[in-house]
Amino acid sequence: MYTLKEKTVVTLRVNGEDRQALIRPGDILLDTLRDGLGLTGAKPGCLNGDCGACTVLVDGTPIKSCLMLTAEAVGHEITTVEGLSDTPIQRAFIELFAFQCGYCTSGFLMVCHALAGQMQTPPDAVIDEWLESNICRCTSYEEIGKAVRAVLNGEIK
Amino acid sequence: MSKTGIGVPVIRKEAASKVTGEAKYTADFLEPGTLTAQLVTSTCAHGVIAGIDTSAAAGVPGVRAILTGESCPELCGAILKDRPPLARGKVRYYGEPVALVVAEDAFLAAKAASLIKVSYEPLPVVHGPGQALEPGAPLIHEGLGAYKRIVADVYPEPGTNVCHREKVRKGDVEKGFSECAVILEARFKLPQSDHIAMETRAATASISADGTVFIRTSSQAPFEVRKMLSELYQIDEGKIIVEVPMVGGGFGGKAPVNLEILAYLASRAAGGRPVRLVNTREADMVSSPCRMGLEATLKLGATEDGILKAAEMTFLIDAGGYADIGPRLAKAIAVGCTGPYHIENVSCDSLCVYTNHPYVTSFRGFGHASVTFCIERALDKLARKLRLDPARLRYKNALMPGQTSPTQVKITASNCGNLQACIERVKGLVNWEEGDRLDMGGGKIRAKGIAAFWKTSNSPPDAASGAFISFNKDGSVNLNVGCVEIGPMMKTTAAQILSEALKMDISRIHVNMDVNTRYTPYHWKTVASMTTYMIGRAVLRAAEDVTDQLKSMAAVVMKCAPEDLDIGDERVFLRSDPSVFKSFRDLVHGYHYENGNALYGQMLGRGGFIMTDLNFLDRETGKGKPGPYWTVGAQAVEVIYDTVAHTYRLTKAATVIDAGKVLNPAMAEGLVKGGMCMGLGLGSREHFQYDPAGRVLDTSLRTYKVMHFGQTPEYLVAFVETPFVEGPYGARGLAEHGIVGIPAALGNALSVACGAELDELPLLPEKIWMAKTGGRL
């Protein structure tokens, strides 16, 4: 088992690159990404796993980075919003007005991107189940739903 | 899609930055060497601070300063100076900041904060505004009479818990009721709740060697931060720089000056080093100000055919432990107390009352979602008594041009729009004529409720804005305005207005996204849905300024009269022959002749705006003009209600607003839908609950529930366009308004569905069951 006792330098695989960070054993992935690696796209919203603003992908699966220790992420493939570039879901969010203040957007993008990558035509109940993990306080969610569906059904490629 | 002007769904200027993680919010600026401040908050709702032991915390290596109330004797407040930045002597609510630890990093600050021991001697707790007014109620502010008033029109009542009282007296209420065939009396109770902006409040502060204070903050009111710090600590305004980057939602919660004061004190205690203070979600909900609660008593009278004749109302705002903007909330409720209806005889007392709950501040709609719930629920009850269609009752009594508001402002089509058209339209959207209660069988009822609303600004009568325009050498434009980008794309709206005025492609207009009080023109605050109007007017004036300069300069170069010229597509051209022209790029940085001679310097445009005909309200009658215009609208909610479980599904939510002119259809719809979503949250689930000692129980998003994906109804939005003649291109503000009537419409729908009167929020199934059965199984 992988153990840490003191402040230690670890190597994280983030957005396809190996990055080194000095961490305490109790550090959470969110803080390491932001304070250690300068990747501030993942946002703190509650530090309790309730809001999803800090969502990143770990081996392709959406994970709330406030609930994962940095030490647990070693050896896994981490993708943050900074690792997305001109993807269909980013274009869909812009074209369909799926954000206002933008603070929850990174988290929602990561969930939607993973969903579109894992499933072809999920039923509405599955889309709801995936997206209810995150909170947006500005939009009505309708726009986010339209954006993810536009990508899932290939309207926006 | 046209790339010029208004009325088109322009994509927001900062869109790309918000889908790539590039957009930076206050806590994303991570400069090396920045200290972290951590709050210690009260665990007691009302109590004397018997002692604070900081010795163990001071021994933690890396701790640079520890502050308590004894380190900062000043009192702060926007209306009334009643709040110490850190509690002194006593605490007045659960979550009140008691101490502040400043350390080298967050880990050390948290460790030290956990070692601070505060002991309290509990005092009797005031649990609500009704109780606060009872004879013998514990006094929350013993020194109320001695507090400094920041404005002339706040009237605290020393020796009581009344922080402010706003009165409206119009006509003769006694006579009015004597003419009524039907009189309705009702009481309502609405809880405190919270903004839950996804970005919690954050501020950083540093003080440079020459004394210049730098604050970076997630604020809706950077110029208020500068003003308050200057006044509190006697620092010249010019030596305070307040910078606001992107803000992750405000909803009114970031309008008051809050963490900025603490961040400044922390930096001062640490020798001016940069310090950052970021709220945890828990602190953001209960330590920083939340949304008001309300207790109300209404009496409405109408003639047999449903004409409203008289209204008598008392509103008690649960303001919590400190005043903040509470007195202005009381004013807003009084000003709008009748809803958008004509009532000749009105008597209203609206009180801002201290309690031992978290203190409150502005929230989307500024009290209107609360007052609208009361008046609109009362109207539905009255309609039942009168056996009149509730929509018809509202239509009949809608304020019309020539009538007056409760504070006796003359209504015009321009300043108040067309409510009747909104009501008719919303009825169509939800198929009102099919009936408001349909039994679907199987214990399911489909029911609808309707509500109308209005809202004006209640701003200071001299609220002001400005705009600067400069040009790049290629002829493109830079626009600098003082509104904060909190979400509703006001920076882009400003660019759209400029694009229309200069008749040029919006992609060639660059907007400064952040605000810096050193170089951004002043803007009162990004609140009250007033930005489009105020910034819009300033932008139009700046556009006129550069248009005049362009024409007079081109007239010299082109040897013609300025009035023979027009502009468009970055050209100044002859009206008689547009093929004869000079490009902006040849004019805006001086005109250059072939022989090397040059004329004029760089072109700069400026526009200022100030509200012109508003005034203070009369203390006894409320008479006066509180805002430049009202935005009116009508809303409806449809639910499917389960008669056995008392649960319900939200199936439709509809809004029709008289927007004056819709500047960006996609954004306008998005704002209204987002407002409705938040309104459904307030109506159905959001509230603070307290234990018997006054401690808030819902301090995380695990127990405080907001609307989530998959729980939302079908949204229906339409606009009526009756121009507001003073607004930019006729536009009225609409960013807040989607929320205002939704809790009321939901309450009306569910009351119809379950056959009981639901007069408290939120409408949890348990509450409906209680109202329906009285708690009997």
CATH assignment at residue A112 = 1.10.150.120
Q: What ipTM did this prediction achieve?
A: 0.98
For A41, nearest residue in chain B (alpha carbons): B21
A100 neighbourhood in chain B, CB within 8 Å: 249, 487-489, 670-671, 674
- Inside any domain, residue A74: yes
The total number of structural domains that make up chain A: 2
Q: Cβ separation of B670 and A35 shorter than 8 Å?
A: no
B293-459+615-773 and B15-21+463-610 share a CATH fold: yes
- How many Å apart are CA A66 and CA A52, to the nearest integer? 9
DSSP of B58-89:
HTSTTEEEEEEGGG----B-SSB--B-SS--S
Q: Residue B282's closest chain A neighbor by CA?
A: A46
Q: Which of A82, A101, A140 sits opposite B249 (nearest CB)?
A: A101
Residue among B655, B636, B633 nearest B752 (CA): B636
Q: Are residues A65 and A107 in the same domain?
A: no
Q: Which of residues 468-487 of B touch A (CB under 8 A)?
A: 486-487
Rounded distance, CA B487 to CA A143, Å?
A: 15
| Residue numbers in A near B107 (CB within 8 A) | 24
Longest dimension (CA), chain A: 51
Chain B residues with beta carbon closer than 8 angstroms to that of A115: none
Residues B246/B550, Cβ–Cβ less than 8 Å: no
Q: Is residue A2 part of a domain?
A: no
Closest residue, chain A, to B489 (C-alpha)? A100
Q: Which of A24, A138, A145 sits opposite B107 (nearest CB)?
A: A24
In this predicted structure, the answer to whether residue A66 has a pLDDT above a threshold of 90 is: yes
Q: How close is the nearest chain B Cα to the Cα of A35, in Å? A: 7
Q: Do A137 and A95 share a structural domain?
A: yes
Window 237-256 of B, Cβ < 8 Å to A: 246-251
Chain B nearest-CA distance from A141, in A, is: 6
Q: Which token pair is B606?
A: 């400026």
Domain ranges (residues) in chain B: 15-21+463-610, 31-125+198-249+254-286, 293-459+615-773
- CA of A29 vs chain B CAs: smallest distance (Å): 15
Please judge whether B198 and A128 are an interchain contact, meaning their C-beta atoms are less than 8 angstroms apart: no
Instruction: Classify residue A29: in a domain, yes or no.
Output: yes
pLDDT band at A1; cut points 50, 70, 90: low
Query: Would you say B539 and B607 are in contact if contact means Cβ atoms under 8 Å apart?
Result: yes
A chain contacts of residue B706, beta-carbon cutoff 8 Å: 135, 137
Buried b (16+ CB within 10 A) or exposed e, B50-65: eebebeebeebeebbb
Judge whether A37 lies within some domain: yes
Hey, are the CB atoms on B249 and A103 less than 8 Å from each other? yes
pLDDT reported for residue A120: 87
B77 touches B322 (CB < 8 A): yes
Which of A27, A62, A80 marks a domain boundary? Answer: A80
Please answer yes or no on whether B30 and A135 come within 8 Å at the CB atom. Answer: no
Mean pLDDT, chain B cut into blocks of 10 residues (777 residues total): 80 98 96 96 98 98 97 96 98 98 97 98 98 98 97 97 98 98 98 98 98 98 98 98 98 98 98 98 98 98 98 98 98 98 98 98 98 98 98 98 98 98 98 98 98 96 97 98 97 98 97 98 97 98 98 97 98 98 97 95 97 95 97 98 97 98 98 98 98 97 97 98 98 98 98 98 97 88
Report the CATH number that the domain containing residue A32 is assigned in CATH.
3.10.20.30
Among chain B residues, the shortest Cα distance to A39 is held by: B21
Distance from CA of A1 to the nearest CA of B (A): 26
Helix pair angle (A88-95, A105-118), 10° resolution? 130
The verdict on A65 and A113 lying in the same domain is: no
Q: Architecture of domain B293-459+615-773 in CATH?
A: 2-Layer Sandwich (3.30)
Within this chain, do residues A73 and A12 fall inside the same structural domain, yes or no? yes
Minimum-distance CB partner of A97 among B21, B246, B667: B667
For A31, nearest residue in chain B (alpha carbons): B106
The conformation of residue A39, written as its DSSP 8-state character, comes to -
Q: What phi, psi does B119 have (nearest 5°)? A: -115, 140
For residue A88, the chain B residue with the least C-alpha distance is B19
- Note whether B27 contacts A: Cβ–Cβ < 8 A: yes
Q: DSSP label at B490?
A: H
Q: Is the preceding omega at residue B138 within 30 degrees of 0, hence cis?
A: no
Strands B35-41 and B275-278: parallel
Structural domain of residue A145, as residue ranges? 84-152
Q: Which residue has the tokens 């919003």?
A: A81
Between residues 634 and 653 of chain B, which touch chain A (CB distance below 8 Å)?
none
- B19 neighbourhood in chain A, CB within 8 Å: 81, 84, 90, 93-94, 99, 105, 109
Partner-chain contact A38 B30, CB within 8 Å = yes
CB contact under 8 A, A139 and B674: yes
Of B20, B676, B701, the CB nearest to A46: B701
Which chain B residue lies closest to A90 (C-alpha atoms)? B19
Closest approach of A67 to chain B, Cα-based (Å): 14
Q: Note whether B249 contacts A137, CB cutoff 8 Å.
A: yes
Residues A23 and A49 in one domain: yes
User: In this structure, what is the dihedral angle of CA atoms B495, B496, B500, B503, given to the nearest 10 degrees?
Assistant: 60
- Helix, strand, coil % in chain B, rounded to nearest 5: 30, 30, 45
Taking alpha carbons only, the member of B167, B194, B300 closest to residue B252 is B194
- The architecture of the domain spanning B15-21+463-610 is 2-Layer Sandwich (3.30)
Say yes or no: A42 and A76 in one domain. Answer: yes
3-state class (DSSP) for residue B533? helix
Whether B676 and A140 lie within 8 Å, measured CB to CB: yes
Residue A114 and residue A50 share a domain? no
Q: Are B315 and B327 in contact (CB under 8 A)?
A: no
CB pairs under 8 A between A and B: 157
List the single best residue of B108, B701, B709, B712 to mutate versus A (max A Cβ within 10 A): B709
Which residues of chain B does A93 touch, with a Cβ-Cβ cutoff of 8 Å? 19
Sheet holding B308-320, edge to edge: B162-170, B345-354, B308-320, B293-302, B182-190
Contact A47 B281 (CB under 8 A): yes
Optimal mutation site among A39, A50, A100, interface B, most CBs of chain B within 10 A:
A100
Distance from the Cα of residue B512 to its chain's centroid: 23
Q: Are residues A91 and A44 in the same domain?
A: no
CB contact under 8 A, B198 and A104: yes
B153 touching A (Cβ < 8 Å): no
CA distance B199 to chain A (A): 6
8 Å CB contact of A101 and B197: yes
Boundary of a domain, candidates A80, A115, A138: A80
- Residues A93 and A46 grouped into a single domain: no
Q: In B2-136, which ranges are continuous DSSP H helix?
A: 15-18, 55-58, 106-114, 129-133
Which residues are CB-neighbours of B517 under 8 A, at least 6 positions away? B222, B223, B226, B240, B241, B242, B243
Contact B710 A39 (CB under 8 A): no
Helix or strand holding residue B670 (H, E)? helix B665-684
- Residue B282 has which token pair? 């828990």
Record: contact B15-A51, CB cut-off 8 A: no
Pairing mode, strands B213-217 and B162-170: unpaired
| Cross-chain residue pair A34–B28, CB shorter than 8 Å | yes
Identify whether the C-beta of residue B51 lies closer than 8 Å to the C-beta of residue B119. Answer: yes
Q: What does the angle CA B130 – CA B132 – CA B134 come to, to the nearest 5 degrees?
A: 75
Q: What does the pLDDT look like over A85-125, one tens digit per residue?
A: 999 999 999 999 999 999 999 999 999 999 999 998 999 99
Cβ–Cβ gap B20/A100 under 8 Å: no
Looking at the fold, whether A140 and A76 belong to one and the same domain comes out as no
Q: What are phi and psi of B511, to 5 degrees?
A: -110, 135
**Residue B683: what pLDDT?**
98
Task: Name the residue of chain A whose CA is nearest to B667's CA.
Answer: A97
Q: Cβ separation of A95 and B670 shorter than 8 Å?
A: no
Judge whether A113 lies within some domain. yes
- Which of A53, A100, A131 is facing B488, going by the closest CB pair? A100
Strand partners, B202: B278
Q: Provide, as residue numbers in chain A, all residues whose Cβ is less than 8 Å from the Cβ of B20.
A: 41, 81-82, 84-85, 90
A144 vs B contacts (CB less than 8 Å): 709
* B104: exposed, middle or buried (Cβ count in 10 Å: 0-12, 13-18, 19+): middle
Superfamily of domain B31-125+198-249+254-286: Aldehyde oxidase/xanthine dehydrogenase, a/b hammerhead (3.90.1170.50)
Residues A16 and A68 occupy one common structural domain: yes
> Are A88 and A71 within one domain?
no
- A39 vs B contacts (CB less than 8 Å): 21
Distance between CA B248 and CA B21 in Å, rounded? 13
Contacts of B93 (CB under 8 A, 6+ apart): B42, B45, B46, B286, B320, B321, B322, B356, B357, B358, B359, B694
Please choose, from the candidates B194, B128, B189, the residue with its C-alpha nearest in 3D space to the C-alpha of residue B705. B194
**Of A62, A80, A98, which residue constitutes the final position of a domain?**
A80
